[in-house]
Amino acid sequence: VNPCCHYPCQNSGMCVRYAAGRFECDCTGTGFYGDNCTPSPDTVHYLLTHFHWLWELINTSFLRDVLMRVVLTVRSNFIPSPPTFNSKYGYLSWESYSNLSYYTRLLPPVPEDCPTPMGTKGKAVLPDPAVLVERFLIRKTFRPDPQGANLMFAFFAQHFTHQFFKTHHRMGPGFTRALSHGVDAGHIYGDNLERQLQLRLHQDGKLKYQLVKGEMFPPTTKQVPVTMSYPDSIPDHQRLALGQEVFGLLPGLALYSTLWLREHNRACDILRAEHPSWDDEQLFQTARLIIIVRPDYSNRISLEFNHLYHWHPLMPDSFLVDGQDVDYPHFLFNTSLLLHFGVEKLVDAFSRQEAGQIGGGWNVHRRLQKVVELVIKESRDLRVQPFNEYRKKFELKPYKSFYEFTDDQEMARQLEELYGDIDALEFYPGLLLERTRHNAIFGESMVEMGAPFSLKGLLGNPICSPVYWKPSTFGGAAGFDLVNSATLERLVCLNSRWCPYVSFHVPRNERDRRRREPTTEL
């Protein structure tokens, strides 16, 4: 047996195989020692979990900011830089470093020659993905997120992350089309130069648009013939041409595309007023930097991050827009909802409708069954390591049993029967089925694994470096002001006729609930 199938190296030590079942753990740089990179008593954890009085004091003092910075840095250090493995290479290689077509991998694939699909633990055959999805993931009745997230949040998360999650299915599930691996606003400007040039107006730095009832919307594919995926049934005048090929799928995505389009063109107007001498190119490039900066992000995107972000339980049973109940067949690919209702009413509707709780199981709408089945299938093709190995990677205690993992006894019993061993539980089912934190949208692992991926990017973006982060990069004080004053509310309300209720939370009080009349505020 390949000894690395036991995952013998702890604390991110690297397992290297030699002849005759011999292996070595390379513990270099892990801070751990010995044959398996195991710890001396974990002082950091001890400190963190004891001395409550000391933490009280720190929490209420200026020290908090300093410590927060340390915590954020430590967290983002879970994500290696430069990137390491990918779906083909379970060891370091130049190919894996330099070939940007791959998603990187935080943990190497399970070796090919292991006794079981997950290494050495669990059954010889993994449970049928369709059975897993049907038994534990499909929604029975809608369970709202107890933290009050709404559809405006759900579509923001989807819109934002789909600039760097763009699996290149033709090449295989381990590959991406988003070669810049981060926040480059490729979902607004296209992921290649040719597409960008087609989307641009080539005047005043602006993007092409169409006017509907006097308001600015993305152009149609007749006007801008870029590749988009629409079913044949969608008529020409409803085929919006967007930066991202699949954003015609949901009015929520087209809505955000419209807002960013308006914001880009608005930034161009502001810049042009300040710099009459600038040509189209400089106006465009500077406006693009302004757009990118707001939600900044950059690093090598990993497959695990992509799988983790399949937050489909957020989606409701149907969509409530302006008093109408729109079902899935009438919502998907229906860009006319955006053109008909306009930005204001859609924002208001999506901000008021609660999104589903992501964790805890049984909350994926039947319509999205295939999508979640597919993540599970792909993770097997790509030999993604067990959930517990990722728990360890992020310095969380591996679960000892399914009964510790979930409070639902029946779920635990069935999972045990299907997987045979908690150490064989898979990554994505683990994230979605783990007991949620009290009154929270998901469980411990989603937070503790998701946050480092995000933070790594926030701290690693060149635009945050002192070389870039100064007013001149954004065309002077006016541009810098746009960047520093950015909020969701400003994005919406400075690009619409009246200011609807706009938030990532459903209304909390009477004042929020009432706000929904065309007003001239702002």
* Contact residues for ligand HEM, defined by CB under 6 A: 154, 157-158, 161, 165-167, 250, 306, 309-312, 314-315, 332, 368, 371, 374
Minimum separation from the CB atom of position 209 to ligand HEM (A): 25
Question: For the residues of 31-46, what is the DSSP string, one character each?
Answer: T-BTTTTBPSP-HHHH
Minimum separation from the CB atom of position 511 to ligand HEM (A): 28
Output 315 or 432, the one with its CB closest to ligand HEM: 315
* One-letter identity of residue 284: F
How many Cα atoms occupy the beta-carbon half-sphere of 298 within 13 Å? 16
- How far is residue 350 CA from its own chain's centroid? 19
Q: State yes or no: is 340 an active-site residue.
A: no
Q: For residue 157, which of 290, 315, 280 has the smallest C-alpha distance?
A: 315
Output 246 or 478, the one with its CB closest to ligand HEM: 246
Q: Which residue has the tokens 């009085």?
A: 53
CA distance 446 to 220: 38
CA distance 490 to 502: 10
506-521 exposure pattern, b = at least 16 Cβ within 10 A, e = fewer: bbeeeeeeebbeeeee
Question: For the residues of 370-403, what is the DSSP string, one character each?
Answer: HHHHHHHHHHHHTTPPPHHHHHHHTT-PPPSSHH
Q: Which uninterrupted H or E stretch holds 409?
A: helix 409-419
Minimum separation from the CB atom of position 427 to ligand HEM (A): 14
Which residues does 193 contact at the CB level (< 8 Å), separation at least 6?
none
Minimum separation from the CB atom of position 154 to ligand HEM (A): 4
Q: State yes or no: is 52 an active-site residue.
A: no
CA distance 348 to 497: 13
Minimum separation from the CB atom of position 365 to ligand HEM (A): 7
Output 405 or 427, the one with its CB closest to ligand HEM: 427
> Residue of minimal CB distance from ligand HEM?
167
Looking at 159, 162, 264, 365, which residue is catalytic?
Answer: 162
Which residues does 287 contact at the CB level (< 8 Å), separation at least 6?
205, 264, 267, 268, 271
Q: Can you say whether residue 162 is alpha, beta or left, with left for phi > 0 and alpha for psi between -120 and 50 degrees? A: alpha
Looking at 7, 102, 103, 309, which residue is catalytic?
Answer: 309
Minimum separation from the CB atom of position 142 to ligand HEM (A): 14
Minimum separation from the CB atom of position 187 to ligand HEM (A): 11
CA distance 66 to 68: 5
Output 56 or 327, the one with its CB closest to ligand HEM: 327
Q: For residue 183, which of 457, 452, 492, 451 has the smallest C-alpha distance?
A: 457
Output 63 or 447, the one with its CB closest to ligand HEM: 447
Output 109 or 119, the one with its CB closest to ligand HEM: 109
Residues tagged active-site: 162, 309
